[in-house]
Chains A and B, each alone.
Chain A
């Protein structure tokens, strides 16, 4: 059960990020709200293309043209990051908020040594001698479990395995003990055994440094194991959010139920009946009303007409903190919700 009174580290409010392409406006993130509390791991889950990476790049201030943050607030340590200038934002990046990515090997620059790439973080953010930076780099490599750390500082990225490269990325990201780490599918590209090792490392380091983590993944199993809370995204919006226990025990949104049903249980892959039919809607031309209505079985089952007319709001159960965006739990004009949240 979440305690909702403590101050959040990060609060994303009504974040709207669009890409203005030749084909039209891609509404990649379209009104996202969530909070991250100190020291917690919050999972951000959703199908490919639902706006997870765009959300995290928006937080980092790294949205590139033709993308643009159109609306919203990103409050971090009592400042709205969207109001900061580029040079102030540079002080935040890598020092207070850092990020690791899906493809660790291609995320490291192939022409520089591992050591120099870690040292660079210190050079950017602090006046520190080259020797000190080199010592710290070795220390960090040891911390993330790279054997032969001294020698490895002279290695190039192509001489490392994917798992090692991700460890280096983690070392780089944690170099300045940031308050927040955004891990965008940090293990998707890795072997299963390596995946587990990297996740364990992340969990350990989070405990050691009390860093908050936004963990982005497709994998509900990873969430169940790692996260304290979880937010489910669908087509640019968060449609359900709660603590992990409550989400897996009582999934509310039809999409979340579909996701959980599609996870193999005890090695047994369930029939495709349980999974979600259809595809993610086109983010340029979204359906009117609920974004999930084109794929929703519940809508038919309960004959909800409002679903195709009006978009539901995020409803919150004040006691449990469980939030969901669905007409099944919300009254509307001439519509009575079949369930109470």
Chain B
């Protein structure tokens, strides 16, 4: 298993390189000059020439790519044209919020979607099944921004002054601050080094940071702030997961070995939970893996509506402004994310189904 994991990780390197090459090329093919996009009316020929030189945009494309790859290996994603800050810092600040939002949304989607799909399959054609399927058919076509606004309206305004009230915006309530674990525990570090960046990065996962430091107040507050955006973001995946679970379960429940389990005298519920579910998991996991991409796209809108400073908003601005360093950095992050998710999906296949060989 470990050997298989390592081999899969090594195989990922050429994949990531290939993705980088393609996206680098594509980003250079977007029409319009970055200088004009950045400086707008003020972009005179002279100003542009200096701008282009400063950011190396006048060099031949292969050279630009070589420079880019070299920088990347050192963890240097360059400086954002629009925000005039190192992209690495932007990632460290904002990526953890987006990842936590995504994980939370996926968690909600699975925790509700999978049981709903199972119940639906068990009680096929019953009123319960019909209700679940109608809800999930509405769910898949629900615009994220509309759902987000409705949730914010309902939980923040209608339920105001009740214990169900939830904050509609921000990551933490004003006045509550999260203390990074490495500061709390006085980790030695040198400012601006790679290890410092990594410590900062991990401590910016507020839920993770507050759990390991035992700061329950921050934990509660940060979870509270994530519930609404995660619900908005998780609804479409939830609906898709529920439908996939239902159809996969129905397929499995027809199989001969389910009849065998019943013929042994096994209780109906155990037949479902033990014999059917594990076999039904493969397509469900595949769909969950695919949902991650959809989540990333949805995060963009969700973060805007709920005032979260994740990477979604930055990416949107970067694309409209042709902020190459940011676009490229995100491409790397997304590519690595995909490779990682795929690896997880494949490993869970091997874990679940003995027929899938470790070859």
Contact = CB atoms under 8 A, between A and B. Distances in A.
A265 B160 CA distance: 88
B257 A107 contact: yes
A29 to B, nearest CB: 17
Contact of A156 (B260, B263, B354): B354
Contact of A107 (B260, B265, B278): B260
Contact of A60 (B263, B268, B275, B352): B263
B355 A108 contact: no
A90 B260 contact: no
Contacts of B49: none
B259 interface: yes
B207 to A, nearest CB: 33
A31 B274 CA distance: 36
A109 B279 contact: yes
A86 B263 contact: no
Contacts of B256: 101, 103, 106-107
Given A109-B279, A156-B354, A158-B354, A124 B264 contact: yes
Contact of A106 (B257, B267, B278, B352): B257
Q: Which of A111, A121, A169 has the most CB of B within 10 A?
A: A111
B260 A124 contact: no
B59 interface: no
Interface residues of A, number: 29
A320 interface: no
Q: How large is the interface on B (under 10, 10 to 19, 20 to 34, 35 or more residues)?
A: 20 to 34
Contacts of B354: 110-111, 156, 158
Nearest to B276: A109
A55 B255 CA distance: 19
B262 interface: yes
A106 B264 contact: no
Contact of A124 (B255, B266, B268): B266
Contact of A90 (B266, B275, B353): B266
A128 interface: no
Interface string B246-270: 0000000001110111111111100
Nearest to A111: B278
Given A111-B278, A111-B279, A124-B266, A169 B355 contact: no
Contacts, number: 67
Interface stretch (A91-99, A210-218, A227-235, A266-274): A91-99
A47 interface: no
B261 A93 contact: no
Contacts of A286: none
Nearest to B278: A111
A130 interface: no
B184 to A, nearest CB: 45
Interface string B334-359: 00000000000000000011110000
A125 interface: yes
Q: Which of A87, A98, A103, A110 has the most CB of B within 10 A?
A: A110
B279 A110 contact: yes
Q: Which of B255, B279, B353, B354 has the most CB of A within 10 A?
A: B354
Nearest to B353: A111
Given A86-B268, A111-B353, A94 B257 contact: no
A62 B263 contact: yes
A172 interface: yes
Interface of B: 255-257, 259-268, 275, 278-279, 352-355
5 contacts: A93-B262, A94-B263, A110-B354, A111-B278, A158-B355
Q: Across the A-B interface, give the 5 residue pairs with the lowest CB-CB distance, nearest first.
A: A94-B265, A93-B265, A94-B264, A109-B257, A106-B256
Given A90-B267, A94-B264, A156-B355, 16 more contacts: A62-B262, A62-B263, A93-B262, A103-B256, A107-B256, A108-B257, A109-B275, A110-B354, A111-B278, A111-B353, A120-B264, A120-B266, A121-B264, A124-B265, A158-B354, A158-B355
